[in-house]
């Protein structure tokens, strides 16, 4: 009884009304058939037409249900779906005829045949006219309902939950009930295609998303596979972004919020983010290690108002430090993060915000004497490649001299750990900024090699940070929103990317597990072509690259590489407890010669002797080459690799 009740419950009012319409058409067809036969020959008419109408109506409704004529909303009927009407109607008529014959009633054969043809034509025509009328009304009056025609990617559990929530929301008149009109579903499982989920048809696979967007006049896509593997997610999202409509996502399954062991998906749907297209899951870190490392310590962050520095301060604040010191030369950024943390923590966080330059040795030493930091995160640096090419003295003074000042003062005051933030641009640098950061890495290595040092010196190296100051993403977004061309320097340029929280988590864990002297490198997955990133970002805004928004190639900027690297040839990789964090072996340096060369570089920078300073930087960093040399070699490598992959493989007959 319970099963029957549940089944009838699923057979919604909409389906009941459609079934009544079918019964009416079958009855009218019977009367038309009988009237036509009676006009030509009264003896050929069906004398038991009322019994025939009841039997054929009931039997046809049952067989139409069995063959799935009511599983798919009529407005989504396709050619193959009309077969369910054909099979259902013919089967129902055959069964009804047998029942009437068993009852001992005479049923003219021509009546049965004509009735079947007219009924089939009436039911199929009604469906076609209903579909045409619905699409015409919905496309001509989209603003009336406000609901956007939605394609759902993935027909699994998340999709079912979402469709139920939408249905319940409409009954309860919730705010998001009018935001989504589920039209169709795509899924790569062959067993699901052709079926329907909560009345919404599964029309095909993810490979044909663009086709179904055009066919069903889709206005938005929801990616509903929260447990999808990273490579598969990137492939599907690339297909979605090519469909020229906005994309929304259900978050990663680990990020879903559950209440009382239940999850409401509709409130957690978000716009797609660029990091969703990186081709990997967000990197996770061991919070227990970080907590035991930070808890009760005085932590200083130089450059604490910048993108990385401010996120470092945010994460440090979570682990109950004794004191947090924000040190920055730019007062506006320092003020913003100070106010943010004050509003969030109030008096619970012992926060000190200081305006100072890492170039000023005596001011930094004064701060260390007063506050006695135990852990120093050195994030202060100039990082804009083209600007530093024009003003190389500033890169050397701020990055090299500033790092030397803070590192030497940290060692003097016996700081427990010193963590320097580096960049992939320090590997085989082709610009002053990258070479200056490589020199900073060598400074950290120099101090880590000091035999009597009480400080653990460590370097963390990572790629481009999404959303940071100077990142391409904010620039691309601003250009798209203003309708201006998106500017990419070169069609072949590729970069490694990570999110700001990932970058900072790497720094935190590196500090927690460091013994001194390591360069920590994050496995950031596959590098991303900048032009592909720009194209996907344009599509995420629902626009067409090169048509709605132009992509303009401006040429490589001064000092810019075609491709960044994470390790130098001399460095190897060692595994750590986190499978995505590796330790690069340091290149041995001659400590005595290095410190002499460093002082020459410092003196040249202080004298603003640009030619001499850059020459000394080349001397200290032997891997510092011109961008023209590097890019020429890189493009030749790519051409050779492409030629090798295109070359046919000969096999013996």
Asked if pLDDT for residue 55 goes beyond 80, the answer is: yes
Asked if pLDDT for residue 9 goes beyond 60, the answer is: no
CA distance 378 to 304: 9
Of all helices (H) and strands (E), which one includes residue 368?
helix 361-371
List, in order, residues 6 or more apart from 185 with CB less than 8 Å away.
151, 152, 153, 154, 155, 159, 192, 197, 200, 201, 202, 203
Q: How confident is the model at residue 264 (pLDDT cuts 50, 70, 90)?
A: low
Of all helices (H) and strands (E), which one includes residue 58?
helix 49-66
Q: Identify the burial level of 66 via C-beta atoms within 10 angstroms of its C-beta, where 0-12 means exposed, 13-18 middle and 19 or more buried.
A: middle
Asked if pLDDT for residue 419 goes beyond 90, the answer is: yes
CA distance 419 to 434: 18
Across 67-71, 244-248, 453-457, which has the greatest mean pLDDT? 453-457
Q: In 219-360, where does DSSP find H-type helix?
A: 230-241, 287-294, 307-317, 331-345
Candidates 244, 248, 297, 425; catalytic one: 425
Q: In what order do the strands lie in the sheet with 180-186?
A: 196-197, 200-204, 180-186, 148-153, 220-223, 247-249, 270-271
Instruction: Give the count of beta carbons closer than 10 Å to the beta carbon of residue 471.
Output: 16
Tell me which DSSP letter residue 164 carries. Answer: H
Per DSSP, what are the bridge partners of residue 360?
Answer: none
CA distance 605 to 89: 90
Q: What is the pTM of this model?
A: 0.63
Q: What is the pLDDT of residue 260?
A: 41
72/436: higher pLDDT: 436
Across 108-112, 201-205, 254-258, which has the greatest mean pLDDT? 201-205
How many helices (H) and strands (E) the chain has is answered by 23, 24
Mode of pairing for the β-strands spanning 497-499 and 220-223: unpaired
List, in order, residues 6 or more apart from 544 with CB less than 8 Å away.
244, 538
pLDDT tens digit string along 201-238? Answer: 999 999 999 999 988 889 889 888 877 776 787 788 87
Instruction: Give the count of beta carbons closer than 10 Å to the beta carbon of residue 322.
Output: 12
Tokens found for residue 640: 């050779």
Nearest one of 516, 405, 362 to 450, comparing CA atoms: 516
Percentage, residues of the chain above pLDDT 70: 79
For all residues of the chain together, what is the average pLDDT? 81
Tokens 């079947």 -> residue? 116
Average pLDDT over residues 457-467: 80
Please work out, in degrees rounded to the nearest 5, the angle formed at the alpha carbon of residue 410 by the alpha carbons of 406 and 416. Answer: 135
Asked if pLDDT for residue 114 goes beyond 80, the answer is: yes
Asked if pLDDT for residue 44 goes beyond 70, the answer is: no
CA distance 617 to 429: 11
Average pLDDT over residues 380-384: 93
Per DSSP, what are the bridge partners of residue 422?
Answer: 461
Give Dmax over CA atoms of the chain in angstroms: 120
Write down how long the chain is. 653
Phi and psi at residue 298, in whole multiples of 5°? -90, 115
pLDDT tens digit string along 126-172? Answer: 877 776 665 555 444 444 356 788 999 999 888 888 888 887 776 65
CA distance 359 to 497: 30
Tokens found for residue 605: 């920078």
403/33: higher pLDDT: 403
pLDDT tens digit string along 549-566? Answer: 899 998 887 777 777 665
Q: What is the pLDDT of residue 258?
A: 39
Question: Is 425 one of the annotated active-site residues of the chain?
Answer: yes
Q: Are 382 and 388 in contact (CB under 8 A)?
A: yes
312/169: higher pLDDT: 312
Phi and psi at residue 355, in whole multiples of 5°? -100, 120
Q: What is the pLDDT of residue 653?
A: 36
- HSE on the CB side for 482, CA within 13 Å? 10
CA dihedral (183, 189, 194, 196) positive or negative: negative
Q: How confident is the model at residue 400 (pLDDT cuts 50, 70, 90)?
A: very high
């Amino acid at each position: 009884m319970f099963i029957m009740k549940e089944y009838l419950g699923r057979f919604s009012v909409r389906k009941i009304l459609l079934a009544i319409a079918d019964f009416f058409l079958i009855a009218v067809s019977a009367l038309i058939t009988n009237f036509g036969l009676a006009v030509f020959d009264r003896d050929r008419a069906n004398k038991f037409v009322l019994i025939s109408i009841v039997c054929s109506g009931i039997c046809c409704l049952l067989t139409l249900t069995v063959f799935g004529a009511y599983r798919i909303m009529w407005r989504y009927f396709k050619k193959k779906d009309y077969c369910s009407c054909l099979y259902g109607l013919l089967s129902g008529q055959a069964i009804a005829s047998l029942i009437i014959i068993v009852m001992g009633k005479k049923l003219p054969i021509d009546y049965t045949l004509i009735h079947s043809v007219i009924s089939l034509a009436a039911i199929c025509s009604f469906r076609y006219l209903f579909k045409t009328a619905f699409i015409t009304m919905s496309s001509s009056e989209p603003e009336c309902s406000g609901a956007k025609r939605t394609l759902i990617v993935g027909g699994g559990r998340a999709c079912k939950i979402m469709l139920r929530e939408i249905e319940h929301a409409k009954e309860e008149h919730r705010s998001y009930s009018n935001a989504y009109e589920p039209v169709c579903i795509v899924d790569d499982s062959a067993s699901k295609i052709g079926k329907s989920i909560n009345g919404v048809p599964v029309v095909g696979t993810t490979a044909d998303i663009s086709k179904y967007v055009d066919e069903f006049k889709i206005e938005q896509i929801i990616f509903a596979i929260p447990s999808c593997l990273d490579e598969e997610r990137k492939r599907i999202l690339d297909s979605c972004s090519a469909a020229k409509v906005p994309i929304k996502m259900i978050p990663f399954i680990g990020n879903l919020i559950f209440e009382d062991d239940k999850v409401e998906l509709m409130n957690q749907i978000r716009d797609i983010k660029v990091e969703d297209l990186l081709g990997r899951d967000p990197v996770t870190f061991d919070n227990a290690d970080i907590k035991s490392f930070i808890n009760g310590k005085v932590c200083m962050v130089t450059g604490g108002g910048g993108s990385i520095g401010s996120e470092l301060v945010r994460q440090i604040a979570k682990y109950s430090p004794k004191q947090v010191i924000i040190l920055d030369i730019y007062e506006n950024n320092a003020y913003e993060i100070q106010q943010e943390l004050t509003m969030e923590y109030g008096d619970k966080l012992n926060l000190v915000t200081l305006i100072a330059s890492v170039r000023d040795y005596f001011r930094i030493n004064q701060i260390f004497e007063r506050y006695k930091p135990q852990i120093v995160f050195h994030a202060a640096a100039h990082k804009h490649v083209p600007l530093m090419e024009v003003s190389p003295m500033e890169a050397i003074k701020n990055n090299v001299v500033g790092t030397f000042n803070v590192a030497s003062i940290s060692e003097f005051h016996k700081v427990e750990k010193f963590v320097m933030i580096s960049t992939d641009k320090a590997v085989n640098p082709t610009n002053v900024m990258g070479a200056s950061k490589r020199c900073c890495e060598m400074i950290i290595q120099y101090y880590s090699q000091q035999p009597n040092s009480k400080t653990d010196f460590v370097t963390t190296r990572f790629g481009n940070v999404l959303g940071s100051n100077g990142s391409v993403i904010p620039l691309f977004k601003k250009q798209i929103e203003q309708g201006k061309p998106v500017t990419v320097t070169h069609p072949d340029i590729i970069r490694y990317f990570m999110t700001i929280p990932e970058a900072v988590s790497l720094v935190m864990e590196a500090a927690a597990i460091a013994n001194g002297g390591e360069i920590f490198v994050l496995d950031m997955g596959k590098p991303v072509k900048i032009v592909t990133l720009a194209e996907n970002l344009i599509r995420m805004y629902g626009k067409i690259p090169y048509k709605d928004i132009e992509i303009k190639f401006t040429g490589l900027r001064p000092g810019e590489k075609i491709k960044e690297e994470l390790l130098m040839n001399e460095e190897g990789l060692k595994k750590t407890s986190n499978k995505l964090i590796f330790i690069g072996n340091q290149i041995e340096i001659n400590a005595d010669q290095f410190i002499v060369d460093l002082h020459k570089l410092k003196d040249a920078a202080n004298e603003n002797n640009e030619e001499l300073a850059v020459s000394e930087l080349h001397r200290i960093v032997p891997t510092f080459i011109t961008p023209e040399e590097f890019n020429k070699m890189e493009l030749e490598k790519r051409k050779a690799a492409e030629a090798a992959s295109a070359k046919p493989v000969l096999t013996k007959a």
